[in-house]
Amino acid sequence: MKESYEEKLESKFEMYKEAIKRHAYMCAMEQIEEHYVPVEEFIAEQAKVEDREMKIQQLKLKCGDPDAFALESPNSDMTEGAINPDVKYKMMIHRASDTLSRQCEEKDEEQEIEGLQNWGKRVRELEATVSLLQNELDENKTKFLHMEDLKHRKSKKGFFAHLKYTAADPPKPSSSKASE
């Protein structure tokens, strides 16, 4: 009985293992289909990138950027003769492109930070204004309620209305009478 149980477990294990392999294969195929780029399209994009990098390098040379000629890294003296001029040129373009990209990203980040700081300042100003207006509203509301209360008290006219108020509020006994 123990052996049959172990066989069942082993067969289930194999079944799960096969199911996982099939699932992994299907996921891999879906990813390939989603991200596959035909060779012609890749080459066309690569040509565009190289053209853009060449234009960047030309612009840097026109601007007189001293880093435009700095192709090699400090330890490239050993490999200078072994590198193909085309490869050297591509490396130079790639470095120039990276440098410009980093500079643009840094500038964009600075502008974004500046914009966020301005927004924060504006929000604080608006909060202060709202607080001030809320205080004024509360004061005006209190004044208005007080005025309404006074209006209601004064609106009752006539001889009997006056008597009613005076009869309703009897004078308080003075402390001297209470002590007697």
One domain for residues 140 and 100 = yes
Instruction: Name the pLDDT band for 23 (thresholds 50, 70, 90).
Output: very high
Residue 56 located in a structural domain = yes
Pair (56, 90) in one structural domain: yes
What residue has token string 């040129």?
89
75 alpha-carbon distance from chain centroid: 41
- Per the domain annotation, does 117 fall within a domain? yes
- Read off the pLDDT band of 165 (50, 70, 90): low
Instruction: State percent of the chain over pLDDT 90.
Output: 16
Residue 172 DSSP one-character state: P
The answer as to whether 116 is a domain residue is: yes
Decide if pLDDT at 180 tops 80: no
State residue 74's pLDDT score. Answer: 41
Q: Which domain holds residue 3?
A: 1-35
Task: Give CA–CA dist 151/162, Å, rounded.
Answer: 15
Examine the domain organization and report whether 26 and 60 are in the same domain: no
162 in a domain, yes or no? Answer: no
Taking the C-alpha atoms of residue 65 and residue 59, their distance in angstroms, rounded to an integer, is 9
- Rounded to two decimals, what is the model's pTM? 0.31
Residues 50 and 25 in one domain: no
